[in-house]
Amino acid sequence: MSLTITLIQTQLHWEDKAANRAMLQQKIERIKEKTQIVVLPEMFSTGFSMQPELLAETMDGPTVQWMQEMAAAHRVILCGSLIIREGTDYFNRLIWMLPNGQYGLYDKRHRFAFAGEDQHYTAGNKRMIASVNGWKINLQVCYDLRFPVWARQHTGNASHQPPVQPEYDLLINVANWPQRRSLAWKTLLQARAIENQCYVVGVNRVGEDGNGIYYSGNSMVIDPLGEILYHKADEEDLFTITLHKTTLEEVRSKFPFWKDADGFMIY
């Protein structure tokens, strides 16, 4: 089984939702290859803004509707995060939009307190693992990458229970990760692939935001051994790649490190 994914590494119009939707629509329409999943950066409609009171939408707002339209028109799964309001709470919410209009949700668990995200957004409390064409896909947002327990495979391993199988096959992280900490981004993406014996796709933005912070992109695709299959820095890019389940199964069979993992629980 194979899985084809398109990464969109792009600049973003600062806090301009309509402009970003129009720009991203043009890029999606330029995808020539037949693809199954299109991945956008974190907060793709606004940039990494700490003004949710001004910018948040509801789940029936124009950006979610736009995602439904794009997914349906191009017969793809569209993935990216945006600012969502529910009652008095604001979430940095990743939406996994299916072509039939159904969707899955993941609210960013780890808020970036260094930039004040914890003061404006409510933390999520559960992981989301999607299923596509026989693949299990763990979805995360930016700062989550720094917390390995949150990404750690649950293999069914515990003191009273033998290991069963890895929980997921691919980790997708959508980000607004600044250039000044790009070494950590690149290193941690590889680490998550190696320690979880899975593919990793990291999609970051490029360009300068409204706070004068520069993003160098460095979007990457990494295989289960930590080898880099794709890497692009400092430029906008539209890249499509096909991942192969046989490669993943061969790695896990030849190097069954996952069977020796410690059992644990997340509270």
Compute φ and ψ for 146, nearest 5 degrees: -80, -5
198 noted as active-site residue: no
Q: Which helix (H) or strand (E) holds 107?
A: strand 103-107
42 noted as active-site residue: yes
CA distances for 171 relative to 83, 196, 264, angstroms:
22, 9, 19
Compute φ and ψ for 190, nearest 5 degrees: -65, -40
Candidates 15, 42, 57, 117; catalytic one: 42
254 noted as active-site residue: no
**3-state DSSP assignment of residue 103:** strand
**3-state DSSP assignment of residue 140:** strand
Candidates 17, 57, 142, 198; catalytic one: 142
Radius of gyration for the alpha carbons in the chain, expressed in angstroms and rounded: 18
Candidates 17, 108, 186, 232; catalytic one: 108
Q: From CA 93, how far away is CA 109, in angstroms rounded?
A: 10
Which residues lie closer than 8 Å to 153 by C-beta, 6 or more apart? 166, 167, 168, 196, 197, 198, 258, 261
Residue 82 near residue 20, CB atoms below 8 Å? no
List the structure tokens of 263: 């059992």
Secondary structure of 236-267 as H, E, C letters:
CEEEEEEEEHHHHHHHHHHCCHHHHCCCCCCC
Please identify every residue annotated as catalytic. 42, 108, 142
